[in-house]
Structures are given as C-alpha cells and as structure tokens.
Structure 1
Amino acid sequence: MQSADSPSDLPPGGHVLLAPDKFKGSLTAPEVARHLAAGLRRARPDVPVVELPVADGGDGTAESAIAAGWRRVRLEVSGPTGRPVTASLAIDGRSAVVELAQASGLRRLPGGRPRPLSATSFGTGQLLAHAVRLGARKIVLGVGGAACTDGGAGLVQGLGGRLLDATGRDLPPGGAALRSLHALDLRGMPDLSGVRVIVAGEPEGTLLGRNGSATGQAGRRGAGREEIRLLDAGLRRWADLAEAVSRTAIRDRPGSGAAGGVGFAALAFLGATVEPGIGLMLDLLGFPAKARGAHLVVTGQGTLDVRSLRGRAPIGVARAAARAGVPVVAAVGRRGLTGEQLRKARIQAVYALTDIEPDAARCMRQAGPLLEQLTVAIADEWLPPRR
C-alpha cells in the first residue's frame, strides 16, 4: 500500500462507493466493481456498498452506462475492416452513449492484425444513425481505442454521406483512399439540427501536424513511415474538401485529432463539442448524487502512473469525490506515482495487486481474486468496525 495521507476515523453510517475503470487485458470495469464489492462485503458486511463502474470515453464507456441502468441496444454494424460485428449502445430516455471502440476499435480487428491504411470508422456512423432513429437528442460519443486513421470519413459514410472520386464512384474505406477524394455528397445524412453531440475525450490534438492523427498517432495503429505519409496526405485532402463543404475551419481545433480524426468529422459535420471524458461520464452516471454521504470512494485502473494524470478515470473520480468531501483510495494492478503526485491528484492511498502478488503475469490472470484479497487492507484501514 502507498499512502498520501494517513486515514482517519470515519463517522458511522454511510456507504462505500466503488467507481473503478477497467483493468485492461484482465477485467472490465463492471467486473472490477463486482470483485471489489464481493471482498468488501465479506470484510465488512455491515457497510453498504454501491457499484458505479466508470470509463473516460474509451473501451467500456457504453458498458459503464449500461451498468448504471441505461438500456442496452445491440446492433450489427460494420467493423473496422468491413466485417460485421455486434455492437452495443446505451440509451436513457432521449440521451445515448455511443462508443467508437464498440464498432471501430482496435479490439475489433480480426486476429488483432492492424489495418492502418484501410481501417474505417463506418460502423461508428451506423451506431450514431441508429441512436438518432431511436430518438436520442443528446449523444455522448466516446472516442478512445480507435483502430482507424480515416479522419472520421467512414463515420460520415456510415451516417449516409458519400465520398466520391473524380469518376463519381464511392471511395473505398480508410485514410489512404482519401487522397483520391474529389467530392462529398451529404444528402443522405440525417437531419442533426436538433441533436447535441459531445465527444468524450481530452480537448487536445489536431488533425494534422507533428502531433496529428497520422504523424502523431498512426504508428500506434500499426502504420510504418511510408504508410503515415500516405495517411497524412489523405487527411489533408479530406480536410480541404470537408472544410469547404462545412464552411468551418476545424483542422487546427483542439480535439480534431481524436481517434484518428473522428473528432474532426464530429466537429465539422455534427456540430459536436469536445469535453473531458471522465468528467462528462461521471455527471452522466450521477456520481455526485451517489457520492453524497459516502464513507469512502474506491476507484481503480490496471496501471496508475503519470499517464493517468492526463485525464484518466481514477484522477477524475478523485477530483469529483474531493468536491463532495469524500476520501478516495485506489485499487490498481500496478502503481507508478509518488506520494506528492497522489496528494495533488486527491488520492489518499493506493493498493496494488503487486503488493500481494509480485508476478505480473499472475496478477493479470488472477486479477479478480487478488482484488478481493486487496479489499481486506482497504477495509482494515478505512472502514473501522462499528461499535
């Protein structure tokens, strides 16, 4: 255990709010919450536990809404390589959560094989179109975990738009094909004038440039140097025509580079705004109300390190809990923050699986049971028995 502050006695009454993100490669956020709850209920059966798995816009964003009581809607859409996949979106009244990773994410690549030149966001456009058909008037679009670098061109096609070459033929999918883009036909797109779209992600990164969608990101999606050059050329052509049609200058706007440029298309054609993912999701899931009166908030993630400080879920949870005056501890697989960094992040203590199992591979395989063991230390230090 690593502590930033010494725990103090907690008042009687109240509950423990469990708000973890996923342990990537091991457990989904709802699974993490279930294991933490099981361990705490054994250790302190008299303390009520509330489960609220969270996400910051990447993998698991739709599932976190569904776990909070939103309705799951399943739909067969086009995956990043064109193969059909079954994806879920979440609906609550006239609000929807659409997760790019469900349709166009790295985990949807057949055999995990990257397709940097041809991967498409088409299926994400199909999910958005279906949310509109279901009556959604507020759509949160989570954009983490993308497999594509197509500038959101596929998203526009999935919504009914057409991208045409000089002969009037539809372009094939992917960012490289955008070099041959000659015209856009948006007549098949739905009327989105009454729909508010919010991109859940950090409002940073631009479509082009040194840190843009191709040059700065495509290497992480399997692109080599020549492929990056082709993708960047395609995105430049896409930006020129898309901005001319939408009559807006978007390419240099923060957030336009999100998810291989899907942020660009959302800003240009959907009138979207970009907001930090975890803050947006916490408000959407009712975190402030659920934290009210809590003894303790337990958050978590597979790895808590300096990258987490850039808007990842545990940091957002800690800041939101601090506003509610509730202490926060984190249960993680591996930690990499100093005590000073924890204090600044408003996290009182960190409990890592590697504290009780030094073998990292075993931590991955047995994350669930190890998390339940870890709750004993959390309960001993933060949930004194009631008298």
Structure 2
Amino acid sequence: MNILVAPDKFRGSLEAIDVCRAIRDGILLAYPDANVTTIPLADGGEGTAQILTQHAQGETIDVEVNDPLGRPVTASYGLSADRQTAYIEMAAASGLALLAAEERNPLLTSTYGTGQLIKDALDKGVTQIILGIGGSATTDGGIGMAQALGYRFYDKNNAMLSAKGESLNEIRCIDSIEKDSRLNAVSVTVACDVTNPLFGLNGAAHIYGPQKGADPEMVQFLDNGLKNFSHIASKTFGKDISENPGAGAAGGLGAGCLWFLNAVLKDGVSIVIEQTRIAERIKDADLVITGEGKVDEQTLSGKVVKGLADFCKIYKVPLAVVCGTLQITPEQVRDAGITYAVSVLNRPMDLNQAQADAYGLVKDATFHLVRLFFSNR
C-alpha cells in the first residue's frame, strides 16, 4: 500500500516534520511493509519558508538587516538548491515578534528590512521570490520595503521622507528612477490569506492596527495615510489596486507588493501545494494522512487540510485527518471530502500534558486508523 503523509505543524508541540515522523511510525507499527512518503506542509504562515526550503533541498541564508524600528537584526531566508528561488518571510525582518510590547507603534515601524532581504536575494541571482507576509509589526503600505529597493518618497516641499507609517500622509511623489532594475526580471508570488482592502473600516489600519500598538487616534491617522498613499500610488503606477483582496494584508504590504514588485497574491496553501507538487503524489496514493493541531471551521476555509481534501476528491483518494482538537461536525467532515477525522487524545488531559505527549499520541492514533483502513490486508 502507498500512503502519503502530508501534515501541517501541531502548534506548540510538534513541527510538521516531527508530525510526519510520528505518523510514519504509527503506519509502520501497523504495517511494516507499507510504502510511506512524507511531505511536511505549511499554510503560508510561520514556518512556510523553512518547509519550502527543505523541499527544494536548499540552504538558509543569514543577513543583517533593519528590524521594524531600524535596529540591526540577523534575519534568515531560504534559497533553493538551484539558487533560482528565494523563500522569504517578512516577519523575519519586520515582524511583531521582534518588538517588546511597549515598542509596538505602527507610526514608527517600517518594512525596510523586508526590502533588504529581497535585495540580498537579488544579489544571489534569483529569478523567483516566494514572500510570506504574515505577522507584521508595520502599517507602512510597503514603502519601507520599496525604499530598500531604490524607490524614493517625497513630500509637498520635495523633501525625501523616511519610509514608515507616519509618513504616509505626507507622500506627494513616488520616484522610481533609482529602483533596482533587477526587479523587472523577477517573478514575485506573495502568500496572503486575508482579503482586506487597503483602507476603510475593513482595511489594514482599522482591522490590524490595534494589535500592532495603534490607539484609536493612530488608527484613523494611519487609515488616512493609506488612503493618501493609495491616491499617489494609483496615479504613479496607473492602476488602483486598493480594493483588491489582500491589499490590506500586513499593514498594506499586500498593496505595496502589487505596486512596487508587480507581484501576484495567492493563498498560502495553494503556493505550498504548487511548490511541493503534492498533487502528483496524491494520484498514486491509496491513502493520504494529514493533520494539524486544531481542526475547526477556519481549517475548512483555506488551511492545509482543505487544500489536500480538494485534490483527494479529484483523484478519489481517501483522506484521513489526525489532530489535537476536532471542532467540526460529522456533516462538515463529510462535506469537506474528509474520509476520517480523529482527535489523537485518548484520555482526559490538560493542554500541557497533550503537548508533551503529542508524538506518542499521534503515532498511536495513526496506528489505529491505518489498521481500520486496511483491515482486510
């Protein structure tokens, strides 16, 4: 039997590669002769660059860049084995996790460090960039990233602006004369799982500004700034993308990537599935086993499980899901195309115990589900 193992991480307990090992151990305990293929996956968020780099048999590149407040920090990104594709997570340079709680202030933070990572990848000669934009500390519309790549921003007095959130209201001119020309020859795909527009009540500032340290007055100031930025950028680039789904992602970095990098925004799972070519593996499988820490309604709207379920439906391959917490109904399981879903918890326990025992729990649950699927063999 051919079994494909393709899980996401169990947040707080197991990385995706460890989930793969636990599931594999459970399979082989049930059927030692099974042919098991393991492909760790991610949903486009934290850890996606690492997963894609591993799949591409690539290497990790460390670069000293600016953190969201302009301080030096060492950030990493992945480079494929053929050195043609860079896998970058903006959070490595411009993420909220780089700041203490009292340092969070989207008026002062910038995506400049993300631009530095992109520039380093261009220096390495890449022709493709996969950019994840989750976890940002910024609401600068991507002007910091753009500045690191040669774009310049000027106010009404033709004075150059510092590229951060508080400058958005002052922009009157965007100059691309010094733009890094290598961007014209690079394909940029952005992993973006939110659909917010750039500004307005559902935009970047109002929805995500507070978690980045913005009080109500700052939220309104930033929203006005994003509106002004959109007006200038739309005239400069000849297209208004402010209402595009995802334009408001990562404090407007989604829009910035569309304008400054001519990028394409795609949901993270689609990118991972495409890059790992997992559909080719599903076709030849007798069973696909996936999993993640919690399976709930959000899982069914764009996570790894949903992405795999769609392909398993096409190729009529059963899909089994193991998880820590199962919060969908039998009807939702059926309608999603999932054949079997089970929580790995086999006795009452608190979260700390469940996380500590996660490897064994996943292995044991897999043993039982595989015996069930192939009981007549």
Q: Given the two structures, how large is their TM-score scaled by the length of structure 1?
A: 0.87
Retained in 1: the 8 A contact 2:289–2:319? yes
2:12 — aligned with what? 25
CA distance in 1, matches of 2:365, 2:243: 45
Q: 1:324 aligns with which of 315, 330, 340?
A: 315
CA distance in 2, matches of 1:338, 1:182: 53
1:99 — aligned with what? 89
Retained in 2: the 8 A contact 1:121–1:148? yes
Q: 1:154 aligns with which of 135, 144, 155?
A: 144
Deviates more, 1:125-134 or 1:266-275: 125-134
Q: 1:186 aligns with which of 176, 179, 189?
A: 176
1:81 — aligned with what? 69
Q: 1:53 aligns with which of 21, 35, 40?
A: 40
Report the CA distance shift for 1:351/1:260 in structure 2 as closer, same or farther (over 3 A): same
**3-state SS, counterpart of residue 187 of structure 1:** coil
CA distance in 1, matches of 2:213, 2:328: 29
Report the CA distance shift for 1:41/1:147 in structure 2 as closer, same or farther (over 3 A): farther
CA distance in 2, matches of 1:327, 1:272: 36
Q: Does 1:211 align with 2:202?
A: yes
How far the C-alpha of 1:246 sits from its partner, in A, is: 1.7
Number of residue-to-residue matches in the alignment:
373
Retained in 1: the 8 A contact 2:53–2:87? no
Percent identical residues? 33
Structure 1, unpaired ranges of 5+: 1-12
Q: 1:232 aligns with which of 223, 226, 249?
A: 223
Q: 2:304 aligns with which of 296, 313, 316?
A: 313
**3-state SS, counterpart of residue 334 of structure 1:** strand
Once superposed, which parts of structure 1, at least 4 consecutive aligned residues long, lie more than 6 Å away? Answer: none
Structure 2, unpaired ranges of 5+: none
CA distance in 2, matches of 1:142, 1:121: 13
Mapping of residues 1-16 of structure 1, within 5 Å: 13-14=1-2, 16=3
Deviates more, 1:287-296 or 1:377-386: 377-386
1:361 — aligned with what? 352
2:31 — aligned with what? 44
Mapping of residues 290-305 of structure 1, within 5 Å: 290-305=281-296
Q: Write the deviation string for residues 42-84 of structure 1: whole angstroms up to 9, x where unpaired.
A: 3432212222111222111111112213312313232333331
Mapping of residues 139-150 of structure 1, within 5 Å: 139-150=129-140
Retained in 1: the 8 A contact 2:49–2:88? yes
Instruction: Give the counterpart letter for 1:88 in structure 2.
Output: Y
CA distance in 1, matches of 2:106, 2:376: 55
Q: 1:346 aligns with which of 321, 332, 337?
A: 337
Retained in 2: the 8 A contact 1:101–1:145? yes
Q: Does 1:90 align with 2:83?
A: no
Q: Does 1:126 align with 2:113?
A: no
Retained in 2: the 8 A contact 1:166–1:181? yes
Instruction: Give the counterpart letter for 1:40 in structure 2.
Output: I
Q: Write the deviation string for residues 9-42 of structure 1: whole angstroms up to 9, x where unpaired.
A: xxxx32x212111222333322322332233333
CA distance in 1, matches of 2:102, 2:40: 26
1:7 — aligned with what? none
Instruction: Give the counterpart letter for 1:143 in structure 2.
Output: I
How far the C-alpha of 1:278 sits from its partner, in A, is: 0.9
CA distance in 1, matches of 2:104, 2:345: 31
Retained in 2: the 8 A contact 1:203–1:254? yes
How far the C-alpha of 1:339 sits from its partner, in A, is: 1.2
Retained in 2: the 8 A contact 1:211–1:217? no
Retained in 2: the 8 A contact 1:203–1:275? no
CA distance in 1, matches of 2:293, 2:127: 34
Mapping of residues 229-308 of structure 1, within 5 Å: 229-308=220-299
Q: Given the two structures, how large is their TM-score scaled by the length of structure 2?
A: 0.89
How far the C-alpha of 1:256 sits from its partner, in A, is: 1.0
1:10 — aligned with what? none
